[in-house]
Structures are given as C-alpha cells and as structure tokens.
Structure 1
C-alpha cells in the first residue's frame, strides 16, 4: 500500500494487497473503512451497497434498453461487478417486460454471482464477494460464467474484424451471448449485450501481448489458441469473412 500526491494536490492511496479471493476488493473496502473511521467528516457513496445504484438503472438504463429494442427483445446480458446495474435493469424488466430474460454475466474466479474464488485477469467485472444487490430469487433469470481468456479473445476478434474495441466487461457480455447461441438458449429472439466500457483504456492490457506475458499468459498458447478455436467454430463478425 502506498500514497502519491497529484499535481493538483489530490492524495492517491494505492491498495495493492491481495484479498485472498482473487482480487483486491476486500482490502480496498477495509482501507476505506479505516479512512472513514479516522476522518468523521469523510463521506463514502458506497457503490457496493447504496440502493441508489440499482434504482438509477431501474429508472433509466432499463427503460432505454426496452424502448430502443422493442417487442422482439428476448434477453439482456449484463456484466456484474457490484451488481447494481443488473439489479436495476432486472427490476425494470420484471415490472414492464417479464418475458425478457435478465442474464448475469460474471467471470470465472469471481464470487459476485454464485461462483468460486480464483485469480481474475479482467478488471471492472467480477468481485471478491457476493453482490449485495443480487440476493433475492428475482434478481436475475440465469447466470453465465465466462472464461477470461476467451473473453479477451473475443475482444481481439471484434477489433480485428470490425474495428470495434471493447472493454473487458463488454467482451465478457459478448462471450456469454455466444455461449448461449451455441447452446440454443436465445429462443430466436433478439438478445442485447450491455457494453458499458470501451477499449481505449485497455490498449495496454487486454490488447497487449506484453501485458499478457507479465500476467503469466503465454499469448502464443493461451490467447492465440482461444482465438484460433473460436475462428475454427465459425466466429466472424463481418460479412466479408462469413462469405469466405
């Protein structure tokens, strides 16, 4: 754990102690608790348990999705970290479109949605603890746990085929949808992936072979093998490749 001061005078506290659950969340939350206890004037919005998080998605994100997709909508794939987005979107669907499935997209190694703890490579998806927003039986319809190497491969294939550079959680959502398509779980209706993060901030991580090596991933074996496997299964995102 360290500290740094920006040129604008802000103090940045870096928490780099693993929490024993595949990430750093529990260590960060513990440090936030210490800071609030030591400084009574501090205020913490707490995105992990603040009910305003699912509520804003119930009132805005959910309606936007259903209004723009229309009656053909069959499922919405939502990446999970805090779980607030999924909880809000699902609440809207339950009330206004109960025929539409709310699909929780988590990554293997995450505890956010009934998973097992393990090392996680992709930031901004998954959690070191179960989501506080997804406790009830109607929080979502089903969950898909995505392999992070396969999600990275999907991100790279999309970028190669159509120039769309997605962030990690968005790549996970697309991979989850592809899994359901392979298993005929979409019922022929329109599926939608909630892609909330772009790939610009991931260029030095998910799209970098040097980063992969630093993480202990041998690109030529793991990521490249995943790309080749998906290609061999017919995964292409543009018409020109499909014609060949």
Structure 2
C-alpha cells in the first residue's frame, strides 16, 4: 500500500515502493485460491519492467518457478535483481515487423507455454484481477482523505488508473481521471514509435484499459518527466522513478488551477533503478534530456486530436469517451494482440 504524502495545499501523492506488487500478489493469490496454481506450476509472463520484478519477488516467497520473456531494453540492474530472485529470463533479440518487441515477446511466450504444459500466465494486461486489485487503494484514499476530486496517474496496462478510479466513483461519481501517457504510444490514439520515456505507454492495446474512464489525457515528454522526477526529490524528498515525475508534472498543474478541489497523484515506484540515468546529469546531457529551467513549460499545449500532439507536454479533453468515439485516433490494427501487450 502507498504512503500518502501532502505535496501541496490540495495535492497528495500516493507514493509506492513498487506499485505492481499489489496486482502481482492479488493475481497469484486468486489463481492459487482457484486451483490454477498447483504445487509444480511454473509461472510465465512477458515483461521488461516492474511487473516482472513484482512477480519475481512474489514467486521467490511462494517458492515457485518463474520464466520471464523480455527484450534488450531491460536494464542491467533489473536483470540482476530478477535472476537473484530465481527468475529465468529469456531475451527476444529482434522486434517483430508489427508490434515491435512486445509482439516478439508474446510469440516467444506462447512457445514457452506450449513447451511447459500447465503453466500459468498472470496476463496483467488482460486479467481483470489487475484492476480489481486496486479497489484497496480506492478504499484507502476514501478512508484517509475523504473526497478525491481528481486522480492523476501514468497509464501502461490501465489497471491502476481504471481500477482505482472505478472504486472512487462508487463513492464520488464526479471524480475526474487524468491519464498520463508518453508520445508515440498507441494507448490514446497516437502512432506507435520509439519512446524515450519508459514505464508508460504501449505498442499494443491492453484489454484492461477502459478508455471511457478518462476525462483528460496528457502526453509528457521524457525531458519534462525526468526534470519533474528530480524536482519531486529535491522539493519533497521523494525518490521516485520517471513515471512518477510525469504524473507529478500534470497533477501539480491541475491542483494549482483548481485550489478548491482535492487531487491525488499516483507515484508508482522508487528511483533506485534510475540512479545512473534520470538522477545523473551527465547521462541526461549525453542523451539530450537535460532540460534547462528556461525550457520548462508552465502549461501543456491543448489539442483537439491525438495526432496534433508533438513531442512537448500536451493535453486532450478525452471526455470519458470510448476509443472509437474520439476524433483523430489511429485505427486499431485488427491483427494486434489486444489485451496481451506487456511492458
């Protein structure tokens, strides 16, 4: 469960050590209760990020075998932690022609499941137990803070935002949901492409992402996210990862413009994986991501369609519409493995 930390007069941060522990624990416990995990069941999943770490931690405690399918973008420190926890890692060296590394990983995952009969895959992007697990967060926020007028958070699988917002709206239907995505992510209608900001966004459409939950979408640049990650640390002593920085940028902006309403921002994981990158000025400068104070934006650029967004901080009034109801979205690719994407 997160710590709730006051970041401003009307802004609270829900700061997690590792947010994906919540769905990992919930999914595996439910599977065990339902008899899907026998004594010798191997757990397999595709991941390059924190859900894999959460699974490795849980399976180590449960004394179960774990196979994770990843790609070359996995960082060295994370790889070391996963293997220390006993996970077997399979790396897909080349991206698929359509769907990139995520599609390549899905294909290898399917091969492994065929090779390991009776294996269990948590499928965080399509398993409804992922968003269900966040009902506990909605309960915590309502209990400790009362009314939450706006929830801001990064979007990858859709589980944390969709699950938490749905739980809050059972008590306060007016609660706004602002999703934070990265440019060149297909989640909210942009064309797939290379993303410097990892941990949010996707190349495929997850089934757990309910677009009609969201009131606004903000696309954040990597440089803005990294700068706000450092600011979150310098100003509030919160040592979080870059997805937290991206969400903080948007939440602070919203809270300042709605002083009479209470806002909560989801801060998904701590910053230890990013000490040699986001927290290193030399690395930021070498990669063109060191943002001068004069270059930082005070307000996002407002657009009317996803395709109008460039690489700067941009917002779109989504209006709780389905994906197809929003003008200008890139049509969903019929052959994509919607609901099984992973990152």
TM norm structure 2: 0.57
| Pairing 1:29-178 to 2, within 5 Å after superposition | 29-57=106-134, 59-71=135-147, 73-135=148-210, 137=212, 139-178=213-252
Inter-partner Cα distance in structure 2 for 1:92 and 1:8: 33
- SS in structure 2 opposite 1:76? strand
Inter-partner Cα distance in structure 2 for 1:194 and 1:210: 28
After TM superposition, give the deviation of residue 16 of structure 1 in Å: 4.3
After TM superposition, give the deviation of residue 169 of structure 1 in Å: 1.2
- What whole-Å deviation, never above 9, does each CA across 1:173-231 have from its counterpart, x for those lacking one? 1112244357x4x46311110112111221122222454466xx23xxx4232x4433x
Inter-partner Cα distance in structure 1 for 2:278 and 2:92: 22
Q: Tell me, yes or no, if the aligned pair for 2:150 and 2:177 is still in contact at 8 Å.
A: yes
Q: Tell me, yes or no, if the aligned pair for 1:113 and 1:131 is still in contact at 8 Å.
A: no
- SS in structure 1 opposite 2:170? helix
**Pair 1:52–1:6, CA change in 2 (3 A):** closer
Paired residue total: 222
Matched, 1:17 2:117: no
Matched, 1:180 2:247: no
- SS in structure 2 opposite 1:194? strand
Q: Tell me, yes or no, if the aligned pair for 2:158 and 2:210 is still in contact at 8 Å.
A: no
Corresponding residue for residue 192 of structure 1: 264
After TM superposition, give the deviation of residue 118 of structure 1 in Å: 2.3
Q: Tell me, yes or no, if the aligned pair for 2:182 and 2:195 is still in contact at 8 Å.
A: yes
Matched, 1:223 2:295: no
Q: Tell me, yes or no, if the aligned pair for 2:131 and 2:159 is still in contact at 8 Å.
A: yes
Please point out which of 103, 110, 116 is paired with 1:26. 103
After TM superposition, give the deviation of residue 25 of structure 1 in Å: 2.4
User: Per chain length, whose mean CA-contact separation is higher, i.e. which structure has more relative contact order (CA < 8 Å, sep 6+)?
Assistant: 2
Show structure 2 runs of 5+ residues with no match. 1-70, 73-78, 299-343
**Pair 1:30–1:162, CA change in 2 (3 A):** same
- SS in structure 2 opposite 1:24? helix
TM norm structure 1: 0.77
Show structure 1 runs of 5+ residues with no match. 234-244
After TM superposition, give the deviation of residue 46 of structure 1 in Å: 0.6
After TM superposition, give the deviation of residue 40 of structure 1 in Å: 2.0
Corresponding residue for residue 208 of structure 1: 280
Q: Tell me, yes or no, if the aligned pair for 1:21 and 1:128 is still in contact at 8 Å.
A: no
After TM superposition, give the deviation of residue 170 of structure 1 in Å: 0.8
Q: Tell me, yes or no, if the aligned pair for 2:92 and 2:105 is still in contact at 8 Å.
A: yes
Q: Tell me, yes or no, if the aligned pair for 1:79 and 1:169 is still in contact at 8 Å.
A: yes
Q: Tell me, yes or no, if the aligned pair for 1:83 and 1:134 is still in contact at 8 Å.
A: yes
